[in-house]
Amino acid sequence: MPSKWNNDYLDKMRKVGDQEADKIVEDLIASKQLESSNHLMDTLVRSDMQPSSKLPRELIDYLNTSGTVSDEDLKVIKKGQRLFSRHGHLILLVLVCGSLPTSYAARKGVKVLKGTRRLQNKPNRRLWETAQMVVNVMGPGGLSPQGRGVRTAQKVRLMHAAIRHVVLSESDPAWDIDALGRPVNQEDMAGTLQLFSTFVIDGLERLGVWIDSEEKIGYFRAWQVVGRIMGVCPDLIPATPEEAAGLNALIWERQQGASQDGRDMLAALLGFLKKDSPWPTKWAPGATIRYLLPPGAADMIGVPKHRVGRLAVGLVAKINRLLNKLLGPSLLSSMFFSRLGLRVVKWLIKVDRGGERAQFHIPSHLRTYWGAPSAAEEKTFWQRWLDQMLNVRSALMRVMSSYTTSSH
């Protein structure tokens, strides 16, 4: 790990935000081109692909001119996108049940999420936005010029700047920069970037998924590029997975800790995940979270013990790993984690984000790989029951019609 990554350096990075994005937001608000930072966040969330005509010209210019990715990077990233094509539903499972809960154990950074109340009050919205970003980045062509992933990373960068403005100007009591650092500071952004990259790869392997080495590097490279687009300081973007592991360990050692904020955020997320789970599997989200989190983190944020459930999850992971070695990865599609991952995808397809926001976008070929339905195809138990009854009625009518015709 580079020697610059030490406590003194990271202490300084906690006081640093994102000068370029912060200046855009501050200038727009000062010139009355935006009503408020909250208005900016709402407008960016509602605009899911192309820059909205409602945005000020400065923002449209920023979105149209930033975020270029080299051809060399795109060539390597394609291999990581190949991994996402096969296992994207499991990657979303790791993000929802691993990456997000782990971030709640960062006792300082979690105060920003709690302070904006974006997840505590609307857990479905935060979950939707996070998952959609990953699909946009890792979907086909996501980081190519004008790709969905580039656009999403640019917007998240501006949303972070808007959050910094809201927290620093509107929080009550006033935000303590000396104790907490700037909201969404460089250390927190660097740590979060690892939760989307190396943590996901480690999580897949914990679930028993075999990963090709080139695909692993491609996935890692994709999030290096996203980090640059999102304004993470170049010095805080690791060059290799090994460097990333060292930086992540240092940040985790510095920032992990129990907090009521973290427990509140976990309760909101877990409540959402359990809401639509069939009764026999209500234990599965909590047990999977406990299995995927780093040692000690689950207790810090109050994840239920689920001793039997966690053992069951670990056993299934061992079975998956064994089947991968003996028979190859094709059997994963019928295993527990794939079904749980598809359950997460179905939640995202159905989730109500409110207002005029778009439906969860999954490229059609990814739906085919994962077996994920569209929003129109996802039906309740009673809708499926009614369809069956109508099918039976139609069949009876055909039989009766055939009998009547033959009688005459």
pLDDT in tens, 226-275: 999 999 999 999 999 999 999 999 999 999 999 999 999 899 888 888 87
Cα–Cα distance, 123 to 137 (Å, whole number): 22
Give residue-wise pLDDT tens across range 279-330.
777 888 899 999 999 989 999 999 999 889 999 999 988 888 888 777 766 5
Do 212 and 322 fall within a single domain? yes
Closest by CA position to 357, among listed 39, 120, 45:
45
Q: pLDDT at residue 381 above 50?
A: no
In a domain, 376, yes or no: no
pLDDT at 14: 97
- Residue 132 · residue 121 · CB < 8 Å: no
**Domain identity same for 213 and 269:** yes
Q: Is residue 212 part of a domain?
A: yes
Task: Report how many domains make up the chain.
Answer: 2
Of residues 118 and 277, which shows the higher confidence score? 277
Task: Say if residue 255 is in the same domain as residue 136.
Answer: yes
Where do the H-state alpha helices sit in 95-236?
100-104, 110-116, 118-121, 123-138, 148-170, 177-180, 186-196, 198-206, 213-229
**Other Cβ atoms within 10 Å of 217 Cβ, number:** 17
Q: Are residues 27 and 152 in the same domain?
A: yes
Q: Are residues 405 and 351 in the same domain?
A: no
Whether 373 has a pLDDT exceeding 80, the answer reads no
Same domain, residue pair 132 and 216 = yes
Q: Verify that 18 and 101 share a domain, yes or no.
A: yes
Four-residue CA torsion sign, 291, 183, 258, 233: positive
**Mean per-residue pLDDT for 31-56?**
60
Which domain range does residue 402 map to?
383-408
Q: Is the pLDDT of residue 50 over 80?
A: no
| pLDDT, mean over the chain | 81
Question: What integer pLDDT is reported at residue 197 of this predicted model?
Answer: 96
Residue 191 domain-assigned? yes
- My answer on whether 109 and 169 are in the same domain is yes
Residues comprising the chain, all counted: 408
256 forms beta bridges with 106
